[in-house]
Chain A
Amino acid sequence: AQSVTQPDIHITVSEGASLELRCNYSYGATPYLFWYVQSPGQGLQLLLKYFSGDTLVQGIKGFEAEFKRSQSSFNLRKPSVHWSDAAEYFCAVGGLFSGGYNKLIFGAGTRLAVHP
């Protein structure tokens, strides 16, 4: 079955440190890839997306992600984390490979804590 894996349930970083959140997917071909962020008690906000083309995509709030086909990965990065980045981050795949255009399959999420 198609799946999305976020290996890290919790990550703690110091403010100003760099960040990388991992995401791996299992599909036979390239899916459409997304990263969303969720603050406590809130809905999901789209950070960035990859459909095709340049494998390094830029998003909002200084985030970027790199699609690596050979590793079936779509890791999220930020060079310098701010305290306001503390939230839960979800990787998701969509498109035909998830069973339908508008069906997203989510990873379990990574909860990010930021130390001052």
Chain B
Amino acid sequence: KAGVTQTPRYLIKTRGQQVTLSCSPISGHRSVSWYQQTPGQGLQFLFEYFSETQRNKGNFPGRFSGRQFSNSRSEMNVSTLELGDSALYLCASSLTGTSGAADTQYFGPGTRLTVL
């Protein structure tokens, strides 16, 4: 079974631009979560989508948004990029998270975003 895929793997943008990152979950997984990884702040939860609905959100400004499609693929968007948005953005998928126990999250390779 194929793992979580993320595209593109690398991006270079300039301040003020916007960017869209894509994530395809493991087949059959319906929950997609996004995380930001930086040297200073570590791994931080951005948001989680299930059945096209945002179910959980971390403490990030409104410039960070996401969506999920009917095939469970997800995109996240960052508008008005700032230098501090440079990070590795990781996507994770899991089955449902509604079974009464935490589903295991499986991570993709990440998208490395550099903001100049």
Contacts and interface: CB of A to CB of B under 8 A. Distances in A.
A32 B98 CA distance: 14
B104 A46 contact: yes
B48 A44 contact: no
Contact of B45 (A44, A46, A104, A108): A104
Interface string B1-28: 0001010000000000000000000000
A103 interface: yes
Interface stretch (A62-70, A73-81, A93-101): A93-101
Contacts, number: 73
Given A49-B104, A95-B101, A103 B56 contact: yes
Interface string A16-46: 0000000000000000101010000111111
A102 B107 contact: no
Contacts of A36: 107
A44 B107 contact: yes
A64 B108 CA distance: 23
Contacts of B107: 36, 43-46
Given A101-B97, A101-B98, A106 B104 contact: no
Contacts of A34: 104
Contacts of B58: 103
Interface string B82-116: 00000000101010011001111111111010000
B31 interface: yes
Nearest to B94: A102
B107 to A, nearest CB: 4
19 contacts: A43-B107, A43-B110, A44-B92, A44-B107, A46-B107, A51-B101, A94-B105, A95-B102, A100-B48, A100-B55, A101-B103, A102-B94, A103-B33, A103-B48, A104-B45, A104-B105, A105-B45, A106-B43, A108-B42
